Amino acid sequence: MKPHLFGALLGLVGIALAPLSAGAQGWPDKPVTVVVPFGAGGGVDAAARIVLPKLGERLGQQLVIENVPGASGTIGTQRVIRARPDGYTLLFAVASPINVAPLVAPASVRYDALKDLLPVAPVAVSPFVLVGRKDLKAADTAELLAMARSQPGKVTYGTDGMGTSLHLTAATIAQQAGVNLLHVPYKSGPQALTDVAGGTVDLAVLPVALVQGMVRENKVRAYGVTSRQRSDALPGVPSLSETRDLAKLDVESWMGLLAPAGTDAAVVARLAREVVAVLADPEIVKQLAAGGMKPMQMTPPDFAAYLARERRALAETVSAAGIKVE
């Protein structure tokens, strides 16, 4: 057994042996709704549809996926926060509505996810990819950065919107490399990818699962992944950190399960324990890998601490880049 999986299991043993509270006895005795705060067909939705059916099998109840897109995931997140904390409404989310939106749009985001939600378990982690149009006169990342420095503010890049995780990742790349790029926000990642392939924008920062098909078909050029480790889903594509000016770059996107604050601790523990078991299934691991993702395991307290650290790091990026969504 892998050390991190053993640690996750060991951390849950004490909780698992504790007696169930009155509110948790018999849970779940009906289907559980899991809100995915993004549209069907995207990377987050894909991960949810790999993991949640198997989790439902282990719980003995169907997990009904409800896609509630809009406002960088904040609409669906708010829906879960307002739900009864009875274990029958959960959230399958990423950093955008949890840690990014409260920083970049504090006037419009009327919640603090770190207080209004309980982290249950991370599920998967994946890097992003910096891709470019095929006819860019830059064969690798070093040449790309040199070109950007020679044309400050002229090289364009697309993401899935202002103040999203993809936007912050692109801003981090620009900050570390010392280049001035022009952001072109789109309503969705697929729209940005289509325009890179069509030559409308120069670059885009997008999820592995979204771009891998066009990379393999040579419709866009992959300059590198944002994680320090290369991605098995894109063999031959380097890490951006292999370029000297981006040696410190290491960005990965988590996907995970959260519950409304006030949810019974025994329900959270049961969910966390079952998620760890699901992620030990070789077939689930294989399916995640096909989408450029790998399992990510933490106990609920460790997941909460991880999200708090992420919030602090993102706050520094937002402040340095001056990102604000009106």
Output the pLDDT for position 326.
Answer: 65
CATH (domain of 272)? 3.40.190.150
The rounded Cα 249 to chain-centroid distance in angstroms is 17
Closest CA to 89 of 66, 112, 105: 66
> Which of 12-16, 22-26, 316-320 shows the highest mean pLDDT?
316-320
- Do 232 and 312 share a domain, yes or no? no
Domain boundary pick from 229, 246, 263: 246
Q: How many domains does the chain have?
A: 2
Domain assignment present for residue 155? The answer is yes
pLDDT digits (tens, 9 = 90+) for 33-86: 999 998 887 778 989 999 999 999 999 999 999 999 888 889 999 999 999 999
pLDDT digits (tens, 9 = 90+) for 223-264: 999 999 999 999 899 999 999 999 999 999 999 999 999 999
Decide if 23 contacts 264 (C-beta within 8 A): yes
- Do 121 and 257 share a domain, yes or no? yes
- Do 240 and 265 share a domain, yes or no? no
Output the pLDDT for position 312.
Answer: 94
Output the pLDDT for position 21.
Answer: 55
Contacts of 248 (CB under 8 A, 6+ apart): 176, 241
Secondary structure (3-state) at 77: helix
- Do 200 and 281 share a domain, yes or no? no
pLDDT digits (tens, 9 = 90+) for 155-211: 999 998 888 889 999 999 999 999 999 999 988 888 999 999 999 999 999 999 889
Closest CA to 166 of 145, 187, 189, 148: 189
Decide if 94 contacts 36 (C-beta within 8 A): no
How many CB atoms lie under 10 A from the CB of residue 95?
Answer: 22
- Do 275 and 194 share a domain, yes or no? no
- Do 8 and 80 share a domain, yes or no? yes
Beta strand ranges found along the chain (DSSP E): 32-36, 63-67, 89-93, 117-133, 156-159, 182-185, 203-207, 220-225, 252-260, 294-295
Domain assignment present for residue 54? The answer is yes
Decide if 27 contacts 87 (C-beta within 8 A): yes
Secondary structure (3-state) at 165: helix
Output the pLDDT for position 18.
Answer: 47
Output the pLDDT for position 11.
Answer: 54
Contacts of 13 (CB under 8 A, 6+ apart): none
With b meaning 16 or more CB within 10 Å and e meaning fewer, what string describes 210-224? bbbebbeeebbbbbb
- Do 113 and 258 share a domain, yes or no? yes
Q: Which two tokens stand for residue 304?
A: 């909460």
Closest CA to 112 of 100, 102, 122: 102
Domain boundary pick from 246, 273, 290: 246
Contacts of 17 (CB under 8 A, 6+ apart): none
- Do 140 and 217 share a domain, yes or no? yes
- Do 208 and 69 share a domain, yes or no? no
Closest CA to 51 of 240, 235, 257: 257
Nearest-angstrom CA–CA distance, 70 and 77: 10
For 47, the domain range is: 3-126+253-321
Domain assignment present for residue 168? The answer is yes
Asked whether the predicted pLDDT for residue 220 surpasses 80, the reply is yes
Asked whether the predicted pLDDT for residue 22 surpasses 80, the reply is no
pLDDT digits (tens, 9 = 90+) for 276-310: 999 999 999 999 998 889 999 999 999 999 999 99
Domain boundary pick from 246, 272, 291: 246
pLDDT digits (tens, 9 = 90+) for 107-142: 889 899 999 999 999 999 999 999 999 999 999 999
Nearest-angstrom CA–CA distance, 14 and 210: 39
- Do 72 and 166 share a domain, yes or no? no
Domain assignment present for residue 326? The answer is no
- Do 12 and 69 share a domain, yes or no? yes
CATH (domain of 228)? 3.40.190.10
Asked whether the predicted pLDDT for residue 6 surpasses 60, the reply is no
Asked whether the predicted pLDDT for residue 19 surpasses 60, the reply is no
